[in-house]
Structure 1
Amino acid sequence: MDLNALETSFDLVAPRGEELVELFYTRLFETAPAVQPLFAHTDMARQRQMLLAALVLLRRSLRDLDAAVPTLRRLGARHVEYGAEEAHYAVVGATLIGAMAEIAGEAWTPAYGEAWTEAFGVVAGVMLEGAAEAQLAIAA
C-alpha cells in the first residue's frame, strides 16, 4: 500500500470530516437505496460520528495495520447484526472514496484513489473475516 498517498489524501479531507461523512451517506443512499433500510432505526448523527472515528482510527493505524485487525474484525461481526452483506462492502468503499475525492477537489489525484481502493480492500477483507466468524457462531 502507498502509505504516503493514504496519509496525505486523508489529511486533505480530515479538516472537513463532518462534511465528508454527510456526503458519504447522501451518496450511499442515492447509489444504493437498498441499504437505506439497514439504517431505519439508526441515529444518523451518531452513525456519522462513528464512521468519522473509524476513519481517524484507520488513518492512525496505517503504519501498523495489524494493530487495527481485532477492531476491524469486531466491526465486521457487528455489521452482520445490522444486516450488511458482502456485496455492500464494494459499494461502501467506492462511495467513500468518491466522497473523499469530491471533498478534496482538485487536490485529489488518481494515485490517492488507487491507494484507497487497495486499503479499503484490505479493511473490507478483515471485516468480512469477522463477519464470517459471527455468522458461523450464529449458525452453531
Structure 2
Amino acid sequence: MDLNALEGSFDLVAPRGDELMELFYARLFATAPAVQPLFAHADMARQRQMLLSALVLLRRSLRNLDAVLPRLRELGARHVAYGAEEAHYAVVGSTLIGAMAELAGGDWRIEYTEAWTEAFGVVAGAMLEGAAEAELLAAA
C-alpha cells in the first residue's frame, strides 16, 4: 500500500471530517438506497461520529495495520447483526473514496483513489472474515 498517499490524502480531508461524513452518507443513500433501512434505527449523528473515529484509527494504524485487524474482524462480526451484506462493502468503500475526492477537490490525485481502493480492500477483507466467523457461530 502507498502509505504516504493514504496519510496525505486523509490529512487533506480530516479537518473537514463532519462535512465528509455528511457527504458520505448523503452519497451512500443516493447511490445505494437499499442500504438505508440498515440505518433506520441508528442515531445518525452517533453513526457519523463512529465512522469518522474508525477512519481516524485506521489513519493512525496504517503503518502497523496488523494491530488493528482483530478490531476490524470484530467490527465485521457486529455488522452481521445490522444486516450488512458482502456486496455493501464495495459500495461503502467506493462511496467513501468518492466523498473524500469531492471534498478534497483539485487537491485529490488518482494515486489517492488507488491507495484507498487497496486499503479498503484490506479493511473489507478483515471485516468479511469476522462476518463469516460470526455467521458460522450463529449457525452452529
TM-score by length of 2: 0.99
- Regions of 4+ moved over 3 Å: none
Partner of 1:21: 21
User: What 5-or-longer segments of structure 1 have no aligned partner?
Assistant: none
Superposed displacement of residue 103, structure 1: 0.6
Q: Distance in 1 between matches of 2:125 and 2:11?
A: 24
Partner of 1:133: 133
| Corresponding position: 1:120 with 2:91 | no
| Corresponding position: 1:71 with 2:71 | yes
Partner of 1:4: 4
Question: Counterpart of 1:120 in structure 2: which amino acid?
Answer: F
Identity of aligned residues (%): 82
| SS of residue paired to 1:42 | coil
Question: Counterpart of 1:30 in structure 2: which amino acid?
Answer: A
Partner of 2:105: 105
| SS of residue paired to 1:84 | coil
Question: Counterpart of 2:84 in structure 1: which amino acid?
Answer: A
Question: Counterpart of 2:79 in structure 1: which amino acid?
Answer: H
Superposed displacement of residue 94, structure 1: 0.3
Q: Distance in 1 between matches of 2:92 and 2:17?
A: 17
Q: Distance in 2 between matches of 1:31 and 1:46?
A: 22
* Partner deviation per Cα, 1:79-115 (whole Å, 9 max, x = no partner): 0000000000000000000000001000000000000
Q: Distance in 1 between matches of 2:125 and 2:70?
A: 13
Q: Distance in 2 between matches of 1:111 and 1:124?
A: 20
User: What 5-or-longer segments of structure 2 have no aligned partner?
Assistant: none
Partner of 2:36: 36
Superposed displacement of residue 62, structure 1: 0.1
Question: Counterpart of 1:122 in structure 2: which amino acid?
Answer: V
Q: Distance in 2 between matches of 1:40 and 1:46?
A: 13
Superposition CA RMSD, Å: 0.3
Q: Distance in 1 between matches of 2:35 and 2:58?
A: 23
Question: Counterpart of 1:50 in structure 2: which amino acid?
Answer: M
Superposed displacement of residue 76, structure 1: 0.2
Superposed displacement of residue 137, structure 1: 0.6
